[in-house]
């Protein structure tokens, strides 16, 4: 079983609650985060997908420029890229 969380606070709260329930991470519960930076609090590296801010910013500017140049033209939604940061909260297969 795995839990995917959003942000450091939610991730750390989930980790705390898992400990309160006597669940072992990652043996009983895998924990994966989506966050702005790798989560390494409490001496435990959480497996994190970090938002690629540079790619996100570039796509945002490109979309704004396209909208200004062609205000009536529709365009596709941008794809957000992530950088995987390995942690100790998922089991290896």
Contacts of 79 (CB under 8 A, 6+ apart): 59
| Chain-centre distance for alpha carbon 31 | 11
SS3 5: strand
Whether 90 is covered by a domain: the verdict is no
pLDDT tens string 17-72: 999 999 999 999 999 999 999 998 778 899 999 999 999 999 999 999 999 999 99
Please say whether the beta carbons of 89 and 44 come within 8 A.
yes
Whether 92 is covered by a domain: the verdict is no
Is residue 74 domain-resident? yes
Kindly state whether residue 93 falls inside one of the protein's structural domains: no
* Number of domains present in the structure of the chain: 1
How far apart CA 34 and CA 7 sit, in angstroms, is 6
Domain extent for 33 = 2-85
pTM of the model: 0.78
Spatial distance between the Cα atoms of 72 and 25, rounded to a whole number of angstroms: 50
């Amino acid at each position: 079983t795995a839990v995917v969380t959003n942000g450091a606070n939610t991730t750390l709260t989930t980790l705390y609650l898992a400990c309160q329930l006597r669940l072992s991470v990652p043996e009983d519960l895998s924990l994966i985060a989506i966050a702005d930076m790798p989560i390494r609090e409490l001496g435990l590296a959480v497996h994190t997908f970090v938002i690629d801010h540079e790619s996100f910013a570039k796509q945002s500017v490109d979309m704004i420029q396209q909208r200004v140049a062609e205000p009536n033209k529709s365009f596709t939604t941008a794809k957000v890229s992530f950088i995987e940061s390995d942690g100790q909260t998922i089991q290896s297969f």
